[in-house]
Structures are given as C-alpha cells and as structure tokens.
A and B are shown apart, each in its own frame.
Chain A
C-alpha cells in the first residue's frame, strides 16, 4: 500500500540530546514537509523540500535540521538548541508544491523531553 510512514510513534529524550525522527514515503511525491503540533493548536511548518538535496525553512525552523538525500526520505533532527521540543511531529508529502496540491500526512511521532 502507498503511504507515509513515521517512526517511532512515541519517543522520549533527555534534555540536551539530539534525536532524529524518520519519515518515508512510497507515493513518488516530490515535495515533503515537517510540521509541529502543540496541544489544542493547529500545525506549524518546520521545513519543506521540493526536490532531492534542496530544502527551505518554514515558520519555526530554529533548533531543527533536515536532509533530503533520497526522494523517499526526509528525516528531521531535533537538536538540543530547540527550547521546547515536546510536541507531536507530523510529516507530509505532495506531488507538487502549489495551491491545489493535496498533502498526505503520516501518523505522527509524539516526542517527549524528560
């Protein structure tokens, strides 16, 4: 089945540690996105990528880093510089990055910093 997978579903991290969240898609989509969601809030864009080896910062990129070495994969690293990393992280992909595209979301990773 085509879709987006994120792993792990739950992640616990000690303060001061970097952690990498995985996102893989087999939809052959060019564009991929990372969003963050805090309780009771909408989603906010962290990074997006329209093509391999290229990515752009979203609204809240500070403390995060990404890579796009393969079309299928867009991992997100939450660094120790991120002040408040506990949140629900969602990865999405779309065939194009434009006003009519449909974004397909993964199931999310819930990160808790202890």
Chain B
C-alpha cells in the first residue's frame, strides 16, 4: 500500500484555522484519502475522505492537490476539543481496502 508522511506535531491557537499536511507521493489513481483523529485514550473517529475533488463536511475540509501527491486537512476554527492525533490514510479499491493502515499521525496541540 502507498505510504503517507505527516509531521509529528503541530501547534495552533484556539479559534484560528489549522492546516494539517499529508504527503502521499506514491498514491495510485484508485486510492481514497481518509482522515481520522484520535483523542487521548479513545478510539479513532472518522473526519473526512476524498478521491480527487476537495471535500467539505461539518467537521473539516479536505484539500487535495491536483496531482494528488499531497492533501491538507483544514480545521476552520480550532477549539481545545480538536487537540488529538490526526491520521492521514490511503485506502485502495482492492482486497487490502478492508483495513485502515495507520501511520504515527500528527499530534495537534491547541493553545488557549
């Protein structure tokens, strides 16, 4: 499966936008880009996913580069409750798509 690269940690101020980057230079044409987040001592939570076009939902936006080799998760106004580890995951449209392959993610700290 294609790998993703994310910064180990990022900081943001409360009520400011946050842009979490993810590089996936070996992505294939059928790989979907998913984002999950994990709050301390909890199970991961789905955030958003996309294939080619930018996507918006109530939690966040996903901006996908034209060549699809990178993407950015955008939290429009960070709150203290957004402090979590954010995982960028590629899911292939094949047998291995059943599982989520997690890297080590980005630890987001939100400062009051």
| Chain A interface (Cβ < 8 Å from any Cβ of B) | 4, 31, 33, 35, 40-45, 48, 50, 56, 58-59, 90, 92, 97-100, 102-108, 110
Contact = CB atoms under 8 A, between A and B. Distances in A.
Interface residues of B, number: 24
Contacts of A107: 42-43
Main secondary structure of the interface of B (DSSP, over half): loop
B9 to A, nearest CB: 12
Contacts of B49: 100, 102
A43 B92 contact: no
Contact of B98 (A4, A50, A90): A50
Contacts of A45: 99-101
Interface in B26-46: 30-32, 36, 41-46
B32 A100 contact: yes
A98 B42 contact: no
